[in-house]
Amino acid sequence: MDAIQTPIVQVIGDLIRQTPGTISLGQGVVHYGPPPEALAAARAAVADPETHGYADGNGNADLIEAIDEKLRRDNGIDPRGSRVMVTAGGNMAFVHAILSITGPGDEVILPVPFYFNHEMAIQMADCRVVRVPTDAEYQLDLEAIQRAITPRTRAIVTVTPNNPSGAVFPEPALRAVNRLCAERGLFHISDEVYEYFTYGGIGHSSPGGFDDAAAHTISLFSLSKAYGFAGWRLGYMLYPEQLADAMAKVQDTVLVCPAVISQVAGVAAMRVGPSYPKQFVAGFAEIRDVVIAELRALEPRCVVPPADGAFYCFIRVNADLKPMQVAERLIREHRVAVIPGDAFGMTDGCYFRVAFGALQKATVAEGVGRLVSGLRQILG
């Protein structure tokens, strides 16, 4: 555990609390809460005695049914022949997957930049993270992925729309990864937490819906972003049948069962459907345009690749500076917070993740204005 990075969101959060008035462009949350239907269902559930007892470890039947329907409708995935498990958020689903498919010393391939909790989970399982570079726009480098495979490789992880970069991986690239996993006897762990957040007509593809993908694809989802459920801790995954015993062992040991009241609210949210998150997508697109335009005013001192999904952009500052030192100065001197890029595996330069989902347009504009002004002063 001593070798694993300290959770960077907590580190930045502590600095924010020490500097009142700081605008956070750090943590990846949305500015809206759950649908009213979900809140009403949760209030009604409080009076039901069954809400306060243990429940099925895999998830309540009504929620599993709603998930099955959603997978068919939104992801083109037929869940028959696979298993669904409800977890306390998408992070837990990833931990379950790693513990179920690896042994000590095994390897898992993470394209860089990666979601930092993925690296942390792999290391906690006493496995080795194999970092594979992406291209200048953070798209997958399929040849680099193939070269990284060894006899100890157990899985390749993709996150699309991507955290931290906002890149959206096209279907042909995801099909190539999925096919490579099938050919080499690997699992494809597909993290799709930001599935509804894409812009400019770009669509999202779910590898679990590809032909012959069910036997080696583990698909991870969450209600945290789409339905404003971050504090309710509710996610789920679809995984191959042969992992059922291992997954049940992990679930029973770590969680026993998902929180019943969260599941009741989750059923109501999923019955509202994707129209709920999609009503916010246009607003996020406008905010994204403001963020990117303001940051690109710093070019060539700052490089801002495309961000076609999620609510992040991942920038590079062309200066010989330590990212954490810059992040601290931005908070203490300019009252704006971003996340240093080395937490996401980008250790060859000065990178930052800028998150814009938690704030309204006016506040984001103020925050990005502070960021641009602060970087100008720091860069000199």
- pLDDT of 187 reads 98
Residue 63: name the closest of 230, 193, 221 by CA.
221
Residue corresponding to tokens 């607003």: 283
pLDDT tens figures, 117-174? 999 999 999 999 999 999 999 999 999 999 999 999 999 999 999 999 999 999 999 9
Whether residues 264 and 235 fall in one domain: yes
Last residue in a domain, options 254, 273, 292? 273
Whether residues 71 and 185 fall in one domain: yes
Mean of pLDDT values over 93-108: 98
- pLDDT of 358 reads 87
**Does the model's pTM come out above 0.85?**
yes
Whether residues 244 and 295 fall in one domain: no
In a domain, 207, yes or no: yes
Whether residues 148 and 122 fall in one domain: yes
339 HSE (CA, 13 A, CB side): 30
Strand pairing category for 339-340 and 350-355? antiparallel
State the pLDDT confidence band at 87, using cuts at 50, 70 and 90.
very high
Whether residues 19 and 60 fall in one domain: no
- pLDDT of 27 reads 84
Domain range enclosing 291:
8-28+276-379
Residue 230: name the closest of 70, 358, 59 by CA.
358
Overall residue count recorded for the chain in this entry: 380
Q: What is the mean pLDDT of the chain?
A: 96
Residue 175 confidence (pLDDT) above 90:
yes
Whether residues 331 and 369 fall in one domain: yes
Cα 323 to Cα 138: distance, rounded to the nearest angstrom: 19
CATH number at residue 363: 3.90.1150.10
State the pLDDT confidence band at 253, using cuts at 50, 70 and 90.
very high
Determine what percent of the chain is predicted with pLDDT higher than 90.
97
State the pLDDT confidence band at 362, using cuts at 50, 70 and 90.
confident
Residue 380 confidence (pLDDT) above 90:
no
Whether residues 49 and 182 fall in one domain: yes
Whether residues 202 and 323 fall in one domain: no
| Residue 300: other Cβ atoms inside 10 A | 6
- pLDDT of 143 reads 98
State the pLDDT confidence band at 344, using cuts at 50, 70 and 90.
very high
In a domain, 1, yes or no: no
How many domains are there within the chain? 2
Whether residues 290 and 249 fall in one domain: no
Residue 65 confidence (pLDDT) above 90:
yes
Bridge partners of 159, per DSSP, are 191
Cis peptide before 170 (omega within 30 of 0): no
State the pLDDT confidence band at 359, using cuts at 50, 70 and 90.
confident
In a domain, 2, yes or no: no
Residue corresponding to tokens 């246009």: 282
Burial 336-375 (b: 16+ CB within 10 A, else e): bbbbbbbbbbbeeebbbbbbbbbbeeebbbebbebbbebb
In a domain, 3, yes or no: no
- pLDDT of 360 reads 84
Mean of pLDDT values over 303-331: 96
Last residue in a domain, options 273, 302, 329? 273
Take residue 13 and report the two structure tokens written for it: 């959060």
Whether residues 340 and 206 fall in one domain: no
Whether residues 253 and 371 fall in one domain: no
Mean of pLDDT values over 181-210: 97
Main-chain phi, psi angles of 61, to 5 degrees: -60, -40
Which of 363 and 227 is assigned the larger pLDDT?
227
Last residue in a domain, options 253, 273, 293? 273
State the pLDDT confidence band at 43, using cuts at 50, 70 and 90.
very high
Q: Are the C-beta atoms of 224 and 234 separated by less than 8 Å?
A: yes
Q: Are the C-beta atoms of 291 and 313 separated by less than 8 Å?
A: yes
In a domain, 120, yes or no: yes
Cα 75 to Cα 237: distance, rounded to the nearest angstrom: 13
